[in-house]
């Protein structure tokens, strides 16, 4: 199931190595003028990096490395700068070189793991986080990052255990609470999820994803008005988050306020025209309101963007049933069972509802989520 709000991973954590100057490098400074020059350029590069001047930072790290080709800290920080620019191949090469020079540098493994994470290479990421933890057993950030990689692999229990450990080591990690709360939500512990999101927000009142995630948990608890308040807060912090508009639209739809729902889905689509779930959600709002042609058109768009979107096939099938297009509806329902064979009972329930009532309920389905 794709959650709207994913947990626990953010670029600022990459900067854990930003001011790292290794102890053995400090020893060299007293003996080697070239090392003194390398350190000066490293420090200036760090300042540029903190200001977001990544190209200038990289230029200074290049000079530091030219002065001292074995300066592991300069490779580490240049790798961080490349990573912030999205140049993951160059970043990984620099982290490789730092590890070659200093094989026990936990931060280099950690940051290389983050680079693998950003490329979607979860196995390589987890291997690097494992090594970082072996070298530095109380490395809270490494546990949190490994938790997120395990979450992406569907290993929820292992991910939750890592978030537990990260929190026990550092109770000020908002993203660890966010990640653990998301897993609790997925596992049906809505109270526990809300409690973790509360902690994330207390630590970081600007944690936009925590407001979105708490809103989603409250919505699943049936506390729709409280959910909308959280979505409002998230939008106030970041007004261009398409998933939040889509989530708020779903809450409005469940409250029966369809014009507000459609307005929010329109906004989500304007922000992200490739957001399949927003088309599906808007289509469902049209379906509830009886506008079957608009509903079918939106489900078509959702499926074109994501051909494996189970809910969109189900909803288009229901719309086609109501339009009297039974053969096409059956084709959509067959596609649902191809994609999600274990959802036959759920699908039969949806079909029976429409057959008996000849209408769609505004709250009969969490339409924004896909298997």
Q: Tell me the pTM.
A: 0.84
pLDDT in tens, 79-129: 999 999 999 999 999 999 999 999 999 999 999 999 999 999 999 999 999
pLDDT of residue 353: 85
* The pLDDT value given to residue 32: 57
pLDDT at 280 over 50: yes
Domain 1-131: which CATH class?
mainly alpha
Cα dist. 222→191, 254, 366 in Å?
12, 9, 12
- Looking at 102-173, list the stretches that DSSP marks H as alpha helix, in order from N- to C-terminal side: 106-118, 122-135, 140-152, 156-169
Phi, psi of 288 (to 5 degrees): -60, -35
Supply the pLDDT for residue 157: 98
Q: How far apart are CA 21 and CA 329, in angstroms?
A: 64
Please indicate whether residue 165 or residue 32 has the higher confidence score (pLDDT). 165
Q: Any residues with CB less than 8 A from the CB of 279 and at least 6 apart, and which?
A: 265, 269, 298, 299, 301, 302, 305, 312
pLDDT bin (cut points 50, 70, 90) of residue 355 is: confident
21 band by pLDDT with thresholds 50, 70 and 90: very low
pLDDT at 370: 54
Say yes or no: do domains 1-131 and 278-371 share a fold.
yes
Going 211 to 213 to 216 to 221, the CA torsion angle's sign is negative
Higher pLDDT, 330 or 355: 330
Specify the CATH architecture of the domain 278-371.
Alpha Horseshoe (1.25)
Taking residues 265-277, what's their average pLDDT? 98
- Residue ranges of the domains in the chain? 1-131, 278-371
């Amino acid at each position: 199931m794709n959650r709207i709000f994913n947990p626990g991973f953010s670029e600022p954590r990459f900067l854990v190595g930003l001011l790292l100057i290794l102890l053995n490098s400090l020893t060299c400074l007293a003996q080697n003028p070239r090392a003194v020059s390398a350190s000066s350029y490293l420090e200036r590069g760090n300042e540029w990096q903190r200001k977001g001047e990544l190209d200038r930072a990289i230029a200074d790290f290049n000079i530091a490395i030219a002065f001292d080709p074995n300066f592991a800290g300069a490779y580490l920080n240049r790798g961080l700068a490349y990573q912030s620019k999205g140049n993951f191949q160059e970043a990984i090469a620099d982290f490789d070189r730092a590890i070659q020079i200093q094989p026990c540098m936990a931060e280099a493994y950690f940051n290389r793991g983050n680079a693998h994470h950003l490329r979607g290479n979860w196995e390589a990421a987890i291997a690097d986080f494992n090594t970082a933890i072996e070298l530095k057993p109380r490395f809270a950030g490494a546990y949190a990052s490994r938790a997120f990689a395990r979450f992406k692999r569907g290993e929820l229990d292992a991910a939750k255990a890592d978030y537990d450990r990260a929190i026990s080591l550092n109770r000020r990690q908002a993203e660890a609470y966010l990640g653990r709360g998301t897993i609790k939500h997925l596992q049906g512990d809505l109270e526990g999820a809300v409690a973790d999101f509360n902690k994330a927000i207390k630590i970081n009142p600007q944690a936009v994803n925590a407001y979105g995630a708490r809103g989603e948990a409250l919505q699943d608890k049936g506390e729709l008005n409280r959910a909308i308040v959280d979505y409002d807060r998230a939008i106030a912090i970041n007004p261009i988050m398409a998933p939040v508009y889509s989530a708020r639209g779903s809450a409005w739809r469940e409250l029966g306020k369809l014009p507000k729902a459609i307005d929010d889905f329109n906004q989500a689509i304007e922000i992200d025209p490739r957001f399949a779930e927003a088309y599906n959600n808007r289509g469902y709002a049209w379906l509830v309101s009886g506008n079957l042609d608009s509903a079918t058109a939106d489900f078509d768009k959702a499926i074109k963007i994501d051909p494996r979107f189970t809910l969109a096939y189900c909803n288009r099938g229901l719309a086609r049933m109501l339009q009297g297009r039974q053969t096409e509806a059956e084709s959509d329902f067959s596609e649902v069972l191809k994609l999600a064979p274990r959802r036959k009972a759920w699908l039969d329930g949806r079909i029976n509802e429409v057959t008996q009532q000849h209408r769609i309920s505004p709250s009969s389905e969490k339409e924004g989520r896909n298997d």
